[in-house]
Amino acid sequence: MRVRLPKAVVRRKEAISKEEIREILLKCSDIKLKTYVMLLAATGMRATEALALRNKDFDFDDESSRNNRQAFIRIRGEFTKTRTDRYVFLTKEVVEQCKAWIDFKYRRRRITKVVNNSSSGGGAEDSESSSKATSYWIEPKPSPDDLFFSTPRKRKKSSLGGLYVHMSKEFAKTLDRIGFGNREDGNERRREITFHSFRRFVKTTISDLGYQDFSECYIGHAGSTYWRKKDSEKAELFRKIEPYLTFLDITGLESKGADMETKTKRVMEENLYCSIPLFPLWFAGSVASSCTVHPIRECIRSSSIVSQPCLITSILRIHYIDFSVAVSVATKSYLTILSWKSSKCRKLVC
């Protein structure tokens, strides 16, 4: 007699957004937690893979950058799910954050301890008066075999399990403090945002850019054809997706530009708009404010032809407005130009 085990219920989980990751990073009060979260959000590593990294697994030396090499980290196979060694490229933002954590970790600092010298049988007042504070300076020496996220100690080294428990508690406190600590439906013990949410974000982001096969290789899934690609080809492709895995080391306009560029390409592929003559970019601002049409005459003097998505991009770069507003402004400009061409400039019709 065969007994069929009940199937586990798999609930649909949405990937965390880039704005939410940015908010978490900005509200992290611990530099170690901030470095850990940024590393997960930019590499898509598993939680234990990142905690098992050693100092010597990082390769972001200044000399390598001079040779136009991409910074990367080595992940040991004994801590991966596929039991295969691999390496992951690092963004410039993550490199700077990791260097800041190393400087903070091995800084010279002062340790103060309170020593109680009272003998047994004394009262509370005698105990307080006999206590003595002692302080000394320490400067930990970095070792290549030290765990990257461990804190230097004299007595014993940090364990991988202890690091995971500590990081989980600090991350949970941060989520609750900023209002992101919602629990899963039907499971009050688990939050909606976990360390694995950053892995889903990396996979979704790279796949949406059209690099589905590369995303499998990047996060460590077996079966991707990019396992057999040259390192130079992988690095070149990573530089294209690096802006989409950057969260804090950019201005507000550039952070919108990465997502806006994808939307613009999608509009161009769908051929929703026709080509229009190029005219001064300040005309977009005039249409948005007062809908004046007299600057249209400038378009006759230009022989360049651009698409309306390019116009949307120009409006967004000059005027700090939303993407939907830019589309509306560009549409009004396009209709106005069509009216002008039909009445005055029929010979310039595309």
| pLDDT of the residue at 253 | 40
Reported as a single tens digit per residue, the pLDDT across 129-139 is 567 888 888 88
| pLDDT of the residue at 179 | 93
Q: What is the mean pLDDT of residues 194-201?
A: 94
Look at residue 156 and tell me whether its pLDDT is greater than 50.
yes
| Rounded-to-integer distance, Cα 73 and Cα 331, Å | 47
**Which has more pLDDT, 50 or 293?**
50
Burial 147-168 (b: 16+ CB within 10 A, else e): bbbbeeeeeeebeeeebbebbe
Say what the pTM is: 0.67
| Listed residue (258, 137, 164) closest to 206, CA to CA | 258
Q: What is the mean pLDDT of residues 53-61?
A: 90
CATH classification of 18-116+129-250 is 1.10.443.10, yes or no?
yes
| Listed residue (270, 176, 193) closest to 13, CA to CA | 193
Q: What is the mean pLDDT of residues 219-243?
A: 86
Contact 329, 284 (CB under 8 A): yes
| Rounded-to-integer distance, Cα 10 and Cα 254, Å | 37
Look at residue 292 and tell me whether its pLDDT is greater than 50.
no
**Distance, C-alpha 57 to centroid of its chain:** 21
**Which has more pLDDT, 157 or 49?**
49
Look at residue 298 and tell me whether its pLDDT is greater than 50.
no
| pLDDT of the residue at 337 | 53
Q: What is the mean pLDDT of residues 111-115?
A: 83
| Rounded-to-integer distance, Cα 227 and Cα 71, Å | 18
Q: What is the mean pLDDT of residues 22-48?
A: 95
Of 61-65, 68-72, 146-150, 275-279, least confident by mean pLDDT is 275-279
In this structure, the chain runs to a length of 350
**Distance, C-alpha 17 to centroid of its chain:** 10
Residues 6+ apart with CB under 8 A from 197: 13, 15, 16
Domain boundaries, the chain: 18-116+129-250, 253-348
Q: What is the mean pLDDT of residues 9-25?
A: 85
What percent of the chain has a predicted confidence (pLDDT) above 90?
A: 37
Look at residue 286 and tell me whether its pLDDT is greater than 50.
no
pLDDT tier at 319, thresholds 50, 70, 90 = very low
